[in-house]
């Protein structure tokens, strides 16, 4: 009798586990096309570049990526595929052009900002993402806070 109950519990657990594993979304690595690496900002980095990048990032990106790029935004609990942390090597090793391309094109849960933001705003976001990818005490944004 004990063995029968144990068998039923194990079978139920395996069924639950198989459904859980099947529901996990695995997304292919997101690699920008080679030409994206050649994209370079035509804009000078000015005193307002980072604060303006922060403003756009806060409006459009922080809810998923988090204020410091730690993938801990308020919307992440509802996402099946979590965004990467900007400090991770797979992000920080990408060129500015590749990051710009991803912002412009989007994929899956990340919308395209091709028509939503100007070219200058997209490049400001690239600079801001680069800045928040650094340890907090090395960030250059004059308006930085631990929350933003």
Q: What is the pLDDT of residues 30-68, one digit of tens each?
A: 999 999 999 999 999 999 999 999 999 999 999 999 999
Per-residue pLDDT reduced to its tens digit, 89-120: 999 999 999 999 999 999 988 999 999 999 99
Residue 19, pLDDT score: 46
Fold entry, domain 26-138? Cytochrome Bc1 Complex; Chain D, domain 2 (1.10.760)
- Contact yes or no for 94/32 (Cβ under 8 A): yes
Q: Which residue has the higher pLDDT, 17 or 73?
A: 73
Residue 146, pLDDT score: 74
> What residues form DSSP beta bridges with 110?
107
Residue 12, pLDDT score: 52
Residue 3, pLDDT score: 59
Whether the predicted model's global pTM rises above the 0.85 cut:
no
Residues whose CB falls within 8 Å of the CB of residue 10, separated by 6 or more in sequence, listed in order: none
User: DSSP characters for 20-85?
Assistant: HHHH----------GGGGG----SPP-TTHHHHHHHHHHHHTHHHH-TTSSS--TTGGG-SSPPPP
Question: What 3 state SS string does 84-117 have?
Answer: CCCCCHHHHCCCHHHHHHHHHHCECCECCCCCCC
Distance CA 141, CA 124 (A): 12
Residue 9, pLDDT score: 47
């Amino acid at each position: 009798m004990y063995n029968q109950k144990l068998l039923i519990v194990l079978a139920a657990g395996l069924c639950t586990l198989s459904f859980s594993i099947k529901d996990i979304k695995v997304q292919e690595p997101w690699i920008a096309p080679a030409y994206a690496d050649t994209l370079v900002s035509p804009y000078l980095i000015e005193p307002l570049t980072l604060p303006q990048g922060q403003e756009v990032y806060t409006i459009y990106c922080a809810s998923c990526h988090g204020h410091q790029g730690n993938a801990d935004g308020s919307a992440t609990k509802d996402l099946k595929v979590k965004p990467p942390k900007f400090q991770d090597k797979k992000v920080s090793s990408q060129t500015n052009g590749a990051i710009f391309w991803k912002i412009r094109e989007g994929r899956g849960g990340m919308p395209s900002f091709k028509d939503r933001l100007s070219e200058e705003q997209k490049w400001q976001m690239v600079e801001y993402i680069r800045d928040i990818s650094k340890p907090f005490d090395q960030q250059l944004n004059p308006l930085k806070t631990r929350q933003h």
